[in-house]
Amino acid sequence: MNMHATALAHPNIAFIKFWGLADEARRIPANNSLSMNIGCLATKTSVTFDPALKADVLTLNDELVSGDGLARVQRFMDRIRHMAEKDLYAHITSTNNFPIGAGLASSAAGFAALTLAGTVALGLSLSEKALSALARFGSGSACRSIPGGFVEWVVDPLTGETYAQSIAPADHWELVDCIAILNQDHKPVGSEMGMRSAASSPLQAARVADAKRRFSRCRTAILSRDFAALSQITELDSNLMHAVMMTSNPPLYYWRPGSLAIMQAVKAWQAEGLPVTFTLDAGPNVHLITTRASVDEVLHRLRQFPEVIDIRSGIPAGPARLLEQDSPSRTVQV
């Protein structure tokens, strides 16, 4: 019997951001968040358990990983082993179709694919909800890359359970995410590390206190395909997160001058009537969300910025999915 599976997952871009944990040990987010999976980017992860191994071995884009990166994945694999009650280690091979460490949410896609491949390879058959709840222990936003299309990550106020679920499928709204990739002359603090300082900002409590209102407005904007409403709340939410970052102790500056130049250009383009909005994760890249009809115009304009070294554009994508399986698993619900 082999214990092998391969899964694919997409990164996601959040309209309502996750930044800060209400409970670090239980990985309960400070606020609910909302995102869209990004079609042009994907991570493929294979997991093969091997009784001969004494520890997990991780290969990322054909390079053997050691140190903190490996330890983080091993701790996550321990959770899967614990759930399956099996004491086996695995060869884990992950490849991205995009550069890692460029702020393209590689850890979200990576841990989503690993959650699916790892559990299936070890014979577990988890629901989408359970997969999502598990994925957050690898990387918070990874839980949003398990379901498809437009996704909410919620905390059940009664049970305290937290997981992500789809609010609309990928084909619900023909949006396009045009990602302006900027040069990173210094490696920013990773988001998992950075958000530990969120509570040191005098603004984090106010950001969180207002999150329910933003979440509700954004959810309605997505369900009713209201681009103007989505724009307003998406930019506000992105600015709120970066406001917390820049007022944390020590302050975290993820925006680069080129990021701000694009953000301000977007404001001018909106004034011209172009349907486009921006949002930034914990990095300098600017995600420009636009409609199918306007994507060529947005891409053309983005290419004028000397700071932009690459552009990727993707439509809303489906859920994490199994590509191959050769394991003792029964029905796999994904």
| Contact residues: a second copy, CB under 8 A | 202-203, 205-207, 209-210, 232, 235-236, 239-240, 243, 246-247, 249, 251, 253, 255-258, 260-261, 263-264, 267
Q: Which H/E stretch holds residue 45? A: strand 43-50
Q: Return the number of the residue (258 or 316) whose C-beta is nearest a second copy.
A: 258
The minimum distance between CB 217 and a second copy, in angstroms, equals 12
Residue at token pair 């909410």: 152
Question: For the chain, how far is it from start to end, CA to CA, in angstroms?
Answer: 22
The minimum distance between CB 205 and a second copy, in angstroms, equals 6
3-state DSSP helix/strand/coil % of the chain, to nearest 5: 40, 25, 35
Q: Return the number of the residue (267 or 303) whose C-beta is nearest a second copy.
A: 267
Q: Of 151, 138, 121, 176, nearest to 34 (Cα)?
A: 151
Please list, in sequence order, all residues whose beta carbon lies within 8 angstroms of the beta carbon of residue 206, skipping any fewer than 6 positions away: none
Q: Return the number of the residue (1 or 268) whose C-beta is nearest a second copy.
A: 268
The minimum distance between CB 250 and a second copy, in angstroms, equals 9
> Encoding tokens for residue 260?
């701000």
Contact 165, 151 (CB under 8 A): yes
> Encoding tokens for residue 306?
């000397």
Q: Return the number of the residue (51 or 306) whose C-beta is nearest a second copy.
A: 306
The minimum distance between CB 208 and a second copy, in angstroms, equals 10
The minimum distance between CB 184 and a second copy, in angstroms, equals 12
Q: Return the number of the residue (20 or 138) whose C-beta is nearest a second copy.
A: 20
